[in-house]
Amino acid sequence: MEQDNISEVKLLAERERELLLKKVYELMADGVVVSDPHRLDIRGKLSCGRDVEIEVNVVVEGDVVLGDRVKIGANCVLRDCKIGKDTVINPFSLVEDAVVGEQSFVGPYGRVRPGSRVGDQVQIGNFVEVKNANIGSHCRINHLSFVGDADLAESVTIGAGAIICNLSLIH
């Protein structure tokens, strides 16, 4: 009896993998460059603009929109988010329930948490976490920093290792 259960579980896993691969192949047919179709998991809806590139071990959950020429690095998780055109999400980063503007970058090892809105041409450095914050265009948040429950005006620079929370920096 145990062998029958193992066979059923294996069959279900194979069918799920086939469905995931079908989604990836459809994206590739539309022009998305995927490094390894077997190592992209689309567990929701992924909409891509032109010339999008996705590296290995990326997980997409919920409703995700990627603008033209977006690049997603290896080992990223994208959950219910929108990424603007010409933006790079560097390896090992997480973007969840957030919007990242155009010509920006996150990470590597960046985390953009729920409720965050990141403007255009923003630099979110390595090991930076942004939580429920509005980041104006042209801002730079340097490595090892945390920005939470804050509003940053345009062109604000946050130094390395800074902790900013419950703050509004408005011109």
Q: Which of 38, 138, 143, 171 is catalytic?
A: 143
Alpha-carbon distances, residue 79 vs 60, 88, 95, 168 (angstroms)? 6, 16, 6, 27
Residue 143 known to be catalytic: yes
**Residues tagged active-site:** 143
